[in-house]
């Protein structure tokens, strides 16, 4: 039964209000990977932690912070939603290796090495040339491995991702992206990357963001399940999960911050375009209330075994977190 | 026996090297309150935590970080020195109430509301007018109480200190200062302050910094013990401890940073003067190796009971920390 499972959404960036926390809880989600920062530097990231501390204080009956899988088990047992913090960029560590451990201690469990652009660590998926992991990047990967901070390459370029999988002594994740074979987009991942990821114990979270899906907002649940099935054939079901990339109730200004940060004076449209600059239309079968449950049912109907569906819907994330957060 | 006791030095700012950690351990000290920051802002404080994380990594056989008294017990049991972090100013929280919890989570257990000057929270002991606790100060006291961060008024002015004792719902400390009756200095504390402190369960750590002592560097151990005895008569031995203010192996530049931070273009000499601008001469009976042991012996010889000496030398700090760090 859906409601008995550990349900984990491996990426959301919604407008975090009490109402939305209650929606999350009522949807049956046990834990969610929340994007804390996109372009915020170390100092600004402290303020973001501070704002979340207030949310925890004010909503302790609905949400709890996750520092390890025992907190997810506690969330499940107490009918609350565990909040797993990640950054979609390496901006929270500035240019300072020691801030990896500082941010980990503050509760940042997951960090992307890049967000679309070249970073100090590696190359993002929209750059013309992918030069791979940098000198600083190698040091940071080693340090993230040491302190138990999870490496996420969702927005990184191919060679940088393959480099990282090779350098890292721990499995990494691609928390929210889809296979290129299902939809050819710069943000999606080649079979080479997927095989290297799975071959080292890594995790892929399938994205529900229309720009990452075949036929965009018209993608059907059965198409989505077929993509999952083909990826399971390629790398094994134990490496598959969900990272919906759900961004609900956010104004256009947030989309522009995600896409432009402080780095561009002219508007960058990311996966959109000047004639299609807004949030994409939501998938009718993936809303906040029933999205994960619909996927759960869809996968069962598509022919996945119960145990496989349990893994994809949260069990794999739980096991991956358990292994990855150990020091 | 000295070596069986919990020995806590309630304030040091030495040059932190492996050699010095070994000296600390060999001196029998179980835990030491280390000044992490004087004037460093939030961002700089993160770097200081980062530097200390490296020290913990490189010297895990000699020192351990303290987040609660169980870590002090562990330090004792494993023959290591517990490091208790404090800030001598409120600069680590910038102007942001939420940073109290953020810094507490990072490991800042103690914070002074002021360092000599007016701060955003209260008035320092060298200001001409002491206007008491500010609007922001009241909020920060409440927040420190909530998250279990200890308030330290060592460098604060009289009214601000009395205000704080009244506002705070938890006992506060004056980690390193002496009674004015023993030596009249702006940094020392009046009987009114001492009585208010003791009357609310607070703690006074006696300073070994010569500028705070009768006869300065010529102060004898017996004079020191007499000061302790008179203070015990005034407020009770259960409120007394040691906060040596030991600053060993630091260059003049560190003294100037402590005194001037970024706030003065002309040199401020603190407790010194233009003709006496350096570190004061150390007390011959209070060095890093035998200082705490000499006090232990001195107090016994002065007529304190064994149990009283155990309290003063560390037991009171331990109990105060146990009570104060609970959330």
Cβ–Cβ gap A54/B98 under 8 Å: yes
- pLDDT of A17 above 90: yes
Beta carbons within 10 angstroms of residue B42's beta carbon: 20
Cβ–Cβ gap B53/A106 under 8 Å: no
In chain B, DSSP assigns E strands to: 8-12, 31-37, 63-65, 81-87, 108-112, 150-152, 173-174, 203-206, 240-242
Whether the Cβ atoms of residue A64 and residue A89 lie closer than 8 Å to each other: no
Within a domain: A59: yes
Cβ–Cβ gap B98/A42 under 8 Å: no
Question: Residues A193, A197, A201, CA angle at the centre, nearest 5°?
Answer: 170
Beta carbons within 10 angstroms of residue A131's beta carbon: 13
Whether the Cβ atoms of residue B47 and residue B107 lie closer than 8 Å to each other: no
Residue that is written with structure tokens 């896409």 in the block: A259
Give dist(CA A228, CA A206) in Å, integer.
8
Structure tokens at B196: 């208010």
B327 interface with A at CB cutoff 8 Å: no
- pLDDT of A88 above 90: yes
Within a domain: A114: no
Give dist(CA A185, CA A136) in Å, integer.
28
- Number of A/B CB contacts below 8 angstroms equals 52
The whole-number pLDDT of residue A139 equals 98
DSSP A23: H
- pLDDT of A63 above 90: yes
The whole-number pLDDT of residue A245 equals 96
Q: Which CA distances in Å does A12 have to A37, A69, A207, A273, A279?
A: 12, 19, 10, 22, 14
The distance of A119 to chain B (nearest Cα, Å) reads 21
> Whole-number mean pLDDT of chain A?
97
DSSP string over A177-225: --BTTTS--TTSB-HHHHHHHHHTT-EEEEP--GGGSTTGGG--HHHHH
Cβ–Cβ gap B53/A98 under 8 Å: yes
The string of pLDDT tens digits covering residues A263-302 is 998 999 988 899 998 888 989 999 999 999 999 999 999 9
Q: What is the pLDDT along chain B (327 residues), one digit of tens a residue?
A: 899 999 999 999 999 999 999 999 999 999 999 999 999 999 999 999 999 999 999 999 999 999 999 999 999 999 999 999 999 999 999 999 999 999 999 999 999 999 999 999 999 999 999 999 999 999 999 999 999 999 999 999 999 999 999 999 999 999 999 999 999 999 999 999 999 999 999 999 999 999 999 999 999 999 999 999 999 999 999 999 999 999 999 999 999 999 999 999 899 998 889 999 888 898 999 999 999 999 999 999 999 999 999 999 999 999 999 999 988
The answer for B 29-68 residues in CB contact with A (under 8 A) is: 42-43, 46-47, 49-51, 53-54
Please give the residue that has the higher pLDDT: either A304 or B277: A304
Which of A287, A289, A270 lies closest to A279 in space, CA to CA?
A270
Within a domain: A235: yes
CA atoms within 13 A on the CB side of B309: 21
Mean pLDDT of A48-69: 98
The distance of B96 to chain A (nearest Cα, Å) reads 8
For residue A184, the enclosing domain spans 2-106+171-324
Within a domain: A87: yes
- Per cent of chain A over pLDDT 70 is 100
Phi, psi of A86 (to 5 degrees): -140, 160
Domain count, chain B: 1
The whole-number pLDDT of residue A327 equals 81
The whole-number pLDDT of residue A25 equals 98
> What are the residues whose beta carbons fall under 8 Å from the beta carbon of A76, sequence distance 6 or more?
A6, A30
Whether the Cβ atoms of residue B42 and residue B96 lie closer than 8 Å to each other: yes
Mean pLDDT of A66-78: 98
The whole-number pLDDT of residue A271 equals 86
Q: What is the 3-state secondary structure (H, E, C) of A69-107?
A: HHHHHHHHHHCCEEEEEEECCCHHHCCCCCHHHHHHHHC
CATH number at residue A249: 3.20.20.140
Structure tokens at B272: 């010194």
Q: Which of B41, B85, B98, B147 to mutate to test the interface with A (most CBs of A within 10 A)?
A: B98
Task: Collect all residues of chain B within an 8 Å Cβ-Cβ radius of residue A96.
Answer: 47, 50
Mean pLDDT of A147-164: 98
The whole-number pLDDT of residue B270 equals 87
Please give the residue that has the higher pLDDT: either A327 or A194: A194
Cβ–Cβ gap B101/A47 under 8 Å: no
- Choice among A220-234, A248-262, A294-308, B78-92 with the minimum mean pLDDT: A248-262
The whole-number pLDDT of residue A100 equals 98
Within a domain: A130: no
Cα–chain center distance at A291: 16
The answer for A 273-312 residues in CB contact with B (under 8 A) is: none
The whole-number pLDDT of residue B271 equals 86
The whole-number pLDDT of residue A71 equals 98
Within a domain: A137: no
């Amino acid at each position: 039964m859906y409601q008995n499972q550990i349900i984990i959404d491996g990426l959301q960036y919604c407008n975090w209000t009490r109402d939305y926390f209650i929606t999350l809880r009522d949807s049956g989600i046990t834990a969610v990977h929340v994007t804390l920062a996109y372009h915020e530097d170390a100092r600004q990231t402290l303020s973001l932690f501070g704002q979340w501390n207030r949310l925890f204080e004010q909503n302790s009956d609905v949400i709890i912070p996750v520092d390890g899988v025992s907190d997810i088990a506690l969330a499940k047992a107490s009918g609350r939603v565990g909040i797993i913090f990640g950054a979609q960029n390496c901006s929270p560590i500035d240019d300072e290796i020691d801030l990896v451990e500082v941010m980990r201690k503050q509760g940042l469990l997951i960090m992307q090495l890049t967000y679309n652009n070249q970073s100090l660590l590696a190359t993002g998926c929209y750059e013309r040339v992918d030069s791979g992991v940098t000198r600083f990047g190698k040091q940071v990967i080693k340090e993230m491995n040491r302190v138990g901070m999870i490496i996420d390459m969702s927005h990184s370029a191919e060679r940088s991702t393959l480099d990282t999988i090779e350098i890292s002594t721990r499995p990494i994740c691609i928390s929210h992206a889809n296979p290129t074979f299902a939809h050819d987009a710069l943000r999606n991942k080649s079979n080479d990357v997927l095989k290297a990821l799975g071959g080292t114990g890594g995790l892929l979270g399938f994205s529900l963001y229309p720009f990452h899906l075949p036929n965009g907002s018209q993608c059907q649940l059965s198409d989505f399940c077929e993509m999952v099935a083909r990826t399971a054939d390629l790398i094994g079901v134990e490496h598959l999960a969900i990272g919906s990339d759900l961004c609900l109730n956010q104004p256009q200004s947030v989309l522009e911050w995600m896409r432009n940060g402080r780095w561009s004076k002219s508007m960058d449209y990311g996966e959109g375009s000047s004639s299609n600059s807004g949030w994409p239309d939501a998938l009718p079968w993936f809303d906040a209330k029933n999205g994960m449950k619909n996927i759960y049912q869809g996968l069962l109907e598509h022919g996945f075994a119960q145990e496989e569906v349990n893994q994809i819907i949260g069990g794999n994330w739980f096991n991956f977190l358990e292994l990855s957060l150990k020091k």
